[in-house]
Structure 1
Amino acid sequence: MKADFLKYQAQTTPHPLSMEVQRAEGSYIYDTSGKRYLDFVAGVSACSLGHQHPRVKKAIKTQLDKYLHVMVYGEYAQSPAVQLTKLLAQHLPDPLESTYLVNSGTEAIDGAIKLARRATGRTEIIAALDAYHGNSYGALSLMSNKERTAPFRPMIGDVSFIKFNCDRYLERITVKTAGVVLETIQGGAGFVVPTNGFLNKVKKRCEEVGALLILDEIQPGMGRTGKLFGFEHYDVTPDILVTGKGLGGGMPIGAFTASHAMMTLLSDNPKLGHITTFGGHPVIAAAALATLREITESNLMADALKKEKLIRSLLIHPLIKEIRGSGLMLALMTPSAHIASDIVLRCQDEGLILFWLLFETRAVRITPPLTISEDEIREGCATILDVLNYVVED
């Protein structure tokens, strides 16, 4: 299978990890030889309830017996999508009440950019340096890393950048700005959390000049930080909220949410201001609804903070310079990119799945399922410490 994978399936890097997956369940993935791997990545924060969660599986199977795709998004009322968007509204502060369901986080970012420009009549979009919002042209245009964008230029126009957590850049948000797009916690940059009321200051500046604040919760959302959405930790409410990844419980989904009045702007002048064939797909919406219900009806969010404390208490080693992030969105900071890469690769050999971050090459990602047990955390952390001791010997 590996040979065919490399020959026939388009790749994202020259050297993919190439594990041949047979099955996955709970916090573990099994390869075709039967080897078991403890999953400390959860599909890059997507499998919020682990693998094959019973509630999600049941919702998928129940919907499979009713209907699959029946019509392009927004024309027919379909129960899974209606229930999902209603439940999201019930767990969001005003005025976030109307949700547009799409197929991925990057599509949701594109939709949010379009909505901000449509609502304000302005064109400038401001993003943060070292941000990552996806790889469609709209989302990619919000990336400051020229090495990654140069081969695909030109990007969409009228995009500029500010530095995350740096107040002196706020004056760049002006009456020409349609929207400011920020990750609530910067992911690819190294799980950088907002400090000194930065998000509040951005929101205040947006209000002063009539711009919209768009918060990207694709990674920190769905309980990963101990609250349903990361912005709840910082006493700020975005004008447009973007979600994805963990909302689907392992199924592909994205969404952007705003006030009902703002969202109606995409339905007229012109009609079909945003359109998708498979957004709100009934099977995927059913999985997302089950995921959202499980997260909000259980102790998973409170437990995420307890599990964070456990991880921080266990992972003490001279090669761990810092642990960044919040809840179960954590990054081990090592002295060098070489050491970080060595940890990821050696841990996979030892049956533990870790991963890298996009821009901060010294970081090692730890984003396990919210359902991971304390015993599994201890098992994984012990493996990391063993590997770190081996790296020291090198």
Structure 2
Amino acid sequence: MLTNRQLFLLNVAQTSSSPRLLEIERAEGLYLYDATGKAYLDLVSGFAVSNIGHGHPKIVQAIKNQVDLYMHLSVYGEFVQTPQVKLAQKIISLLPESLNSVYFTNSGTEATEGAMKLAKRFTGRTEIIACKNAYHGSTQGALSLMGNEHYKQAYRPLLPGIKFINFNQPNDLEQITTKTAAVIIETIQGEAGVCVPDSDYMLLLRHKCWQTGTLLILDEIQSGLGRTGKLFAFEHFNIVPDILLTAKAFGGGMPLGAFIAPKQIMDALKENPILGHITTFGGHPVCCAAGLASLEVIMEENLIETVSQKEALFRQLLHHPKIKEVRGKGLMLSIQLNSFIQVENVSKRCVENGVIVDWFLHCETALRVAPPLIIRPDEIRKACEVILEAIDFFAEN
């Protein structure tokens, strides 16, 4: 009889030739547990999804309660569904006044696709500007925005009318013109290795978009929901986007995303043609119930208030001759090493010692550190000890 691992490789579509192959039986809080009962401290949060940890009882209960009432009823936007209404009302109450209309999707890449369509429809323009080393998803529209040709070349032709600028380079903002429908940018670049822009750059970007009538789309799919020490990272820069993208942690572990905009912009999807953007499962009621519970936990338990202190402790402890730099904001961090081989070896050693770290799509020389916001100081110390031991181990071998 084949094992689960063998069946996984045989029957589940693969994304690489070297998956981790950890077989996890359950997850709770900060920890994943394999079939032998071994615990793994999760420093990746399912890639910025599990901001309040795994299996939070309030989320589990919210899911059970909603399943007892109803699951899928109809395509998105036709029936009034209480979980959608409550979650939209809650997230809007926490955002700037202009961001008052929520279009629910299943994922971050779908939020990107919807925002691209909305920007073209509202402005009547076709050009979109993205950044080099950007990542906004992997469907064909989102892939067109990816600022790394290595991941795009096999899938061309992609969308026309896409231009690329350098992230955090003010001079490149001159490429934004009255022909530009939107600039889409990660408030903090994730897959580039967690690159934080200068405040002056973000202000210049905002003003340039205003001057040219260009919509500013901020992708907070990784950086949102408290990860950087604010509910959304744009709050660090004293700007407000025209369209905000969220997903990953938005569903509290369930598949959920959204693009959020002023109602006068969002209404462009209603007519000429009607049903300008549609989805069957976007805003699934069970996912929205989970998302609301997650958002309530983040706010009621004041998880955001402790993020900067936890970042400071990581930075205090992560000192080593082989560490070139620790970049990031809040609990969205990267540890810059010297090579991919070093990153790969250190990552494997950390997993052997019960700590899950990873690397980045466009920055293979850095380790990803993005634990759930509930991580305690003693767990940060334990995690850093394991990381430093792994760096030492491969320095000596």
Tell me the residue number matched to 2:245: 242
Q: Is residue 86 of structure 2 the alignment partner of residue 83 of structure 1?
A: yes
Code of the aligned partner of 2:197: P
Tell me the residue number matched to 1:333: 336
Of 29, 40, 43 in structure 1, the residue corresponding to residue 43 of structure 2 is 40
Tell me the residue number matched to 1:360: 363
Q: Secondary structure at the match of 1:126?
A: strand
TM-score of the two chains, using structure 2 as the length reference: 0.98
Q: Distance in 1 between matches of 2:220 and 2:147?
A: 19
Tell me the residue number matched to 2:204: 201
Deviations 1:120-155 (A, max 9, x none): 000000000000000011110001211210111111
Of 114, 119, 131 in structure 2, the residue corresponding to residue 111 of structure 1 is 114
Shift of 1:388: 1.3
Tell me the residue number matched to 1:384: 387
TM-score of the two chains, using structure 1 as the length reference: 0.99
The aligned runs of 1:177-192 (5 Å cut-off) are 177-192=180-195
The answer on whether the counterparts of 2:101 and 2:263 sit within 8 Å (CA) in structure 1 is yes
Tell me the residue number matched to 2:163: 160
Q: Distance in 1 between matches of 2:300 and 2:38?
A: 34
Q: Distance in 2 between matches of 1:323 and 1:42?
A: 19
The aligned runs of 1:1-394 (5 Å cut-off) are 1-394=4-397
The answer on whether the counterparts of 2:120 and 2:181 sit within 8 Å (CA) in structure 1 is yes
Deviations 1:188-218 (A, max 9, x none): 1110001151111111111111100000000
Q: Distance in 1 between matches of 2:357 and 2:199?
A: 31
Code of the aligned partner of 1:350: N
Q: Secondary structure at the match of 1:384?
A: helix
**Runs (5+) with no aligned partner, structure 2:** none
Q: Distance in 1 between matches of 2:159 and 2:347?
A: 35
Q: Distance in 2 between matches of 1:308 and 1:273?
A: 42
Code of the aligned partner of 1:300: L
Length, aligned pairs only: 394
Q: Distance in 1 between matches of 2:395 and 2:190?
A: 27
Code of the aligned partner of 1:136: T
Q: Distance in 2 between matches of 1:322 and 1:144?
A: 23
Q: Distance in 2 between matches of 1:83 and 1:288?
A: 10
Shift of 1:80: 0.8
Q: Distance in 2 between matches of 1:152 and 1:267?
A: 31
**Runs (5+) with no aligned partner, structure 1:** none
